């Protein structure tokens, strides 16, 4: 596993973004782990988060695209942090864009924040985490309503590696259904690999009991493709 992935896993733990316990996902699944990017709350944290996203985006898409789009609301700071990091790390001035939940009818009118989207724009979408893949169904119509654009793919922070609407992983379903490439900073398999029975800051984050619960979750909801 690359060093930056290990750093990111520990960064999520430090920020309280990656939690273990009893949770219910947006899709209604009871899960022993939860990822909430709303717990990145300082400028320093967002700067580091943007750098991790930039590494993952660059590794999958390079910088040969025009717009990084983050769906409201959590995607708004992600686009800003990631485009700043891409500029600093790779010298590419990518435009950022997000949507509003409600169309603004005065001043800077419309549904978009940040850069306008133009015909011919190549767009990468950035999100926090995809569980069942439902959010992409809302995002693509927004993009395509702006003109003749080309959505290239999706980058998330954590690939939960569980089934989407069928038996394949949510990210794999997105690739197959929409022709998008997908990537993540880390997968849950990498999270477990790095934290299981390993002491971090004086405690074992994933012990045998928690590992059993995670295994049981994946026995029920794990994707057939193993992603």
Give the residue numbers annotated as catalytic, written as ranges: 104, 106
Instruction: Find, among 55, 56, 49, 51, the residue nearest to 35 by Cα.
Output: 49
Instruction: Find, among 227, 148, 220, the residue nearest to 182 by Cα.
Output: 227
Query: Which residue's structure tokens are 């080309």?
Result: 150
Crossing angle for the helix pair 135-144 and 170-178, to the nearest 10 degrees = 30
Residue 67, classified by CB atoms within 10 Å of its CB into exposed (0-12), middle (13-18) or buried (19+), is buried
CB 93 within 8 A of CB 62: no
The Cα 133–Cα 169 span in angstroms is 9
């Amino acid at each position: 596993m690359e060093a930056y992935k290990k750093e990111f896993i520990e960064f999520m733990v430090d920020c309280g973004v990656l939690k273990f316990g009893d949770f219910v996902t947006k899709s209604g699944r009871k899960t022993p782990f939860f990822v909430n990017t709303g717990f990145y709350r300082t400028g320093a944290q967002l700067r580091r988060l943007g750098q991790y996203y930039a590494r993952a985006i660059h590794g999958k898409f390079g910088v040969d695209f025009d717009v990084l789009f983050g769906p409201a609301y959590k995607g708004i700071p992600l686009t800003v942090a990631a485009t700043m990091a891409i500029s600093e790390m790779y010298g590419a001035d990518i435009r950022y864009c997000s949507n509003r939940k409600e169309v603004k009818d005065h001043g800077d009118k419309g549904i978009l924040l940040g850069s306008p989207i133009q015909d011919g724009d190549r767009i990468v979408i950035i999100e926090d985490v995809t569980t069942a893949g439902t959010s992409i169904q809302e995002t693509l119509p927004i993009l395509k309503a702006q003109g003749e654009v080309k959505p290239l793919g999706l980058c998330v922070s954590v690939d939960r590696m569980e089934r989407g609407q069928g038996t394949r992983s949510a990210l794999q379903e997105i690739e197959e259904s929409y022709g998008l490439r997908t990537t993540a900073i880390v997968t849950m398999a990498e999270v477990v690999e790095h934290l299981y029975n390993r002491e971090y800051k004086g405690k074992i984050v994933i012990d045998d009991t928690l590992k059993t619960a995670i295994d049981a979750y994946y026995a029920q909801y794990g994707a057939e493709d193993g992603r």
